[in-house]
């Protein structure tokens, strides 16, 4: 363990890490986070209530109207994931460095925790139903646009009317096929490269992330990509504590941070799994 440094502002550090987390992540930024302020610790449960659509009835001028009681659905988002980072910087190593090693290590903490959360969101691909899945066992530059269009069609049939609300999160392997397809898309987005955003395609925002689950190697990598609205997946997080401390042994300073969060598919019809396996190109 160790002794905490009295003048250290734990609240300020926790807020900074949360702010830095949002700079690093791709998948988390596209989740519904409306319920985030309701959690404080691991094990908390957020109650989510959504209204069902009212029924449309035929009107008869001579008949009585039917009064419907509004119905809602209650779901739970459990904060069931807890991750932590803890490290110690020796005083001699710190003095021998010209850089702010400790500050850089704290910044890298945000990157590590951010990547871990993104990977957990990506793992939800196993919960997507067959009716919401587009499978292409031999993705090439030739069939790329038709494959993406299939996912777009599923969302449109599920009443997702504004494609500008849709993001497509792909792996670098799938992004290669997008580039090779030589189909015009908005390439004037050099100012939007943060958080993986690379431009618009068929009216949807395209993002690239290394957190997308993949398998295989070489020309036949399989990627489990997402096409979704921001309503599709709920996410809530909190940095429970971030503490700088003095280790009991040795000379130096330590740091530890505890990150808790939960994730859940809230609108399954607004999430399409793009199960894409690359195939080798015959000619480019």
User: Mean of the pLDDT values across residues 6-10?
Assistant: 45
Decide which of 276 and 191 is more confident.
276
Q: Are residues 139 and 188 in the same domain?
A: yes
Please give the structure tokens belonging to residue 12: 């300020």
Identify whether the C-beta of residue 171 lies closer than 8 Å to the C-beta of residue 278: no
Q: Are residues 13 and 42 in the same domain?
A: yes
193 has pLDDT over 60? no
DSSP per-residue codes, 211-232: TSEEE--GGG-EEEEEEE-TTS
Looking at the fold, whether 274 and 166 belong to one and the same domain comes out as yes
Which domain, by its residues, includes 258?
Answer: 2-52+69-122+234-265
Shared domain check, 169 and 38: no
Rounded mean pLDDT of 73-95? 81
- Of residues 153 and 12, more confidently modeled: 153
- Quick one: what percent of the chain has pLDDT higher than 90? 39
- On average, the pLDDT of the chain sits at 82
Strand partners, 271: 228
CATH number at residue 161: 3.30.2320.10
In the predicted structure, residue 210 carries a pLDDT above the cut 90:
yes
Residue 99 confidence (pLDDT): 60
Task: Identify whether residues 175 and 274 lie together within a single domain.
Answer: yes
Q: How large is the greatest C-alpha to C-alpha distance in the chain, in angstroms?
A: 90
Tokens of 255: 């740091």
Are both 100 and 240 inside the same structural domain? yes
């Amino acid at each position: 363990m160790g002794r905490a440094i009295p003048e250290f502002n734990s609240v300020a550090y926790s807020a900074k890490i949360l702010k830095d987390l949002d700079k690093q992540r791709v998948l988390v930024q596209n989740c519904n986070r409306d319920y985030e302020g309701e959690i404080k610790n691991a094990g908390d449960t957020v109650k989510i209530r959504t209204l069902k659509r009212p029924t449309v009835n035929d009107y008869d001028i001579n008949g009585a109207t039917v009064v419907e009681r509004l119905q809602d659905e209650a779901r739970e988002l459990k904060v069931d994931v807890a991750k932590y980072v803890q490290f110690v910087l020796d005083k001699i190593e710190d003095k021998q460095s010209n850089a702010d090693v400790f500050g850089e290590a704290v910044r890298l903490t945000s990157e590590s925790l951010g990547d871990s959360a993104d990977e957990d969101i990506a793992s939800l691909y196993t919960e997507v139903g067959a009716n919401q899945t587009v499978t292409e066992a031999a993705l090439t530059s030739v069939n790329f646009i038709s494959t993406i269009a299939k996912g777009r069609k599923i969302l449109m049939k599920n009443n997702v009317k504004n494609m500008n609300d849709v993001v497509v999160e792909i792996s670098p392997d799938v992004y290669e096929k997008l580039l090779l397809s030589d189909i015009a898309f908005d390439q004037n987005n050099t100012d939007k490269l943060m958080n993986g955003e690379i431009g618009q395609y068929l009216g949807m925002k395209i993002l690239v992330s290394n957190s997308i689950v993949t398998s295989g190697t070489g020309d036949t990598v399989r990627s489990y990509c997402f096409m979704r609205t921001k309503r599709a997946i709920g996410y809530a997080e909190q940095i429970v504590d971030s503490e700088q401390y003095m280790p009991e042994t040795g000379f130096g300073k330590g740091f530890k941070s505890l990150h808790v969060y939960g994730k859940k598919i809230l609108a399954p019809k607004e999430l399409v799994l793009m199960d894409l396996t690359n195939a080798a190109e015959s000619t480019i």
